[in-house]
A and B are shown apart, each in its own frame.
Chain A
């Protein structure tokens, strides 16, 4: 299976800050990388697919980039409702759609 490693595992930032979360794959996955947001006690929801395509309805302050093995999720202008854990997930190698370990974003 392809291993996905996220960093940091947690971060604390202030409202209005720019936040960057990294995700690294154990082998090249082209741009087959998705990002999910899981708010406390809720079901994960898709933010970004294919590394950089924003899912319909997702605020434009969320952005994704990267290809190959290194990817980034950026939240510009952090808002209180962005309190959540964020997961990357590769879809290059099926059936094992593996996830990163998650990054917990807290608001200062």
Chain B
């Protein structure tokens, strides 16, 4: 059975840092495209970062230079290091696995979401 469990969120002051973790079971993190997607309160879904199987990483402009995605294959865990946090980063953060094929890419498994609140 596939499980994706995020941890590490919470309340942080503007300018502060947090590290999110996403522990997976039932599939191998390093063998899949893994995304972080966030959802601000009452808002829609926004992709913010991805790590490909080969280790290449990409970021949305909104977080580039402040967030870093990584993984630890031995622990089958994905991470998101968030620095220089701003109030507009307040959101529910999801770790999500992508399934790919000739049809393109879709998110087939999501974590439960972890809340991050940036406020003084």
Contacts and interface: CB of A to CB of B under 8 A. Distances in A.
Chains A and B are bound partners: yes
Interface of A: 31-32, 34, 36, 43-46, 49-50, 53, 87, 89, 91-92, 94-102
B50 A95 contact: yes
A99 B103 contact: no
A56 B50 CA distance: 26
Chain B interface, DSSP helix/strand/loop, else mixed: strand
Interface residues of B, number: 21
B35 interface: yes
Contact of B108 (A46, A89, A96): A46
B22 to A, nearest CB: 13
A97 B60 CA distance: 10
Interface of B: 35, 44-47, 50, 52, 58, 60, 94, 98, 103-108, 110-113
Given A97-B47, A99-B44, A99-B46, A44 B105 contact: no
Contacts of A36: 45, 107
A92 B107 contact: no
Given A43-B110, A43-B112, A91 B44 contact: no
